[in-house]
Amino acid sequence: MVTARGLFVERAPLPALARSPRYRWLVVGTVCVGAFLGQLDASIAGLILPTLEEVFGASLSSVEWVAISYLLTLAILVVPFGRLADLVGRKTMYTTGFVVFIVGSALCGASSSLGWLIFFRVFQAVGAALLQSNSVAIITAAVDRRSLGRAIGVQGAAQAVGLAVGPSVGGLLIGALGWRWVFYIAVPFGLLGTLLGFAVLPQTRHRMERIAARERFDWLGALLFAPAVGLVMMALTFGNDWGWTSPWIIATLALAAASLVGFGLVERRADSPLVDFAVLRDRVFATGIVAGLLSYAVLFGSLFLFPFYLERILGRTPGETGLLLSPVPIAIGVLAPISGIVADKVGSRLPTVLGMLVSTAALLVLAFLPAAGPAFLAIVLLAVGAGLGFFTPANNSAIMGSAPPHRLGVAGGILNMTRSLGTSLGVAATGLVLTARLAAHAGHAVEGTLDVPLPALVAAFRDALVFLAVVGVVAAIISTTRGKRAEQPVGLAPELRGETTAV
Backbone φ and ψ of 8, nearest 5°: -105, 15
Q: How many domains does the chain have?
A: 2
pLDDT in tens, the chain (503 residues): 333 344 456 777 777 777 888 888 888 888 888 888 888 887 777 677 777 877 888 776 678 788 888 888 888 888 888 888 888 888 888 889 999 999 999 999 999 888 899 999 999 999 999 988 888 888 888 887 777 878 888 888 888 888 777 777 777 777 778 888 888 988 998 899 899 888 888 877 555 555 545 677 888 888 888 888 888 888 887 887 788 888 998 999 999 899 889 888 888 887 777 777 777 788 888 899 999 999 999 988 888 888 777 777 777 776 677 777 788 888 888 888 888 888 888 888 899 999 999 999 999 998 887 666 777 888 888 999 999 999 988 898 888 888 777 777 788 888 888 888 888 888 888 888 888 888 887 776 666 555 667 787 888 888 999 999 999 999 999 999 876 654 444 444 443 444 333 32
Whether 5 is covered by a domain: the verdict is no
Which residue, 196, 217, 238, sits at the end of a domain?
A: 217
Asked if residue 307 and residue 184 are part of one domain, the reply reads no
Which residue, 176, 192, 217, sits at the end of a domain?
A: 217
Assign 14 to helix, strand or coil: coil
Asked if residue 201 and residue 297 are part of one domain, the reply reads no
* Residues near 70 by beta carbon (within 8 Å), at least 6 away in sequence: 42, 45, 121, 122, 124, 125, 128
Asked if residue 312 and residue 204 are part of one domain, the reply reads no
Whether 108 is covered by a domain: the verdict is yes
CA distance 142 to 29: 12
Cβ atoms of 488 and 9 closer than 8 Å: no
Cβ atoms of 150 and 394 closer than 8 Å: no
Tell me the whole-structure pTM to 2 decimals.
Answer: 0.82
Asked if residue 391 and residue 302 are part of one domain, the reply reads yes
As a whole number of Å, the CA-based R_g of the chain is 22
Cβ atoms of 194 and 92 closer than 8 Å: no
Residues recorded for the chain? 503
Asked if residue 363 and residue 294 are part of one domain, the reply reads yes
CA distance 401 to 280: 13
DSSP one-letter code for 483: -
DSSP one-letter code for 311: I
Whether 231 is covered by a domain: the verdict is no
Whether 262 is covered by a domain: the verdict is no
Question: Domain residues for 141?
Answer: 11-217
Asked if residue 395 and residue 290 are part of one domain, the reply reads yes
Cβ atoms of 53 and 177 closer than 8 Å: no
Which residue, 169, 195, 217, sits at the end of a domain?
A: 217
Whether 364 is covered by a domain: the verdict is yes
Residue 111, domain CATH:
1.20.1250.20
Whether 246 is covered by a domain: the verdict is no
Asked if residue 75 and residue 205 are part of one domain, the reply reads yes
Query: Which of 502, 503, 406, 405 lies closest to 203, judged by CA?
Result: 502
Whether 501 is covered by a domain: the verdict is no
Whether 230 is covered by a domain: the verdict is no
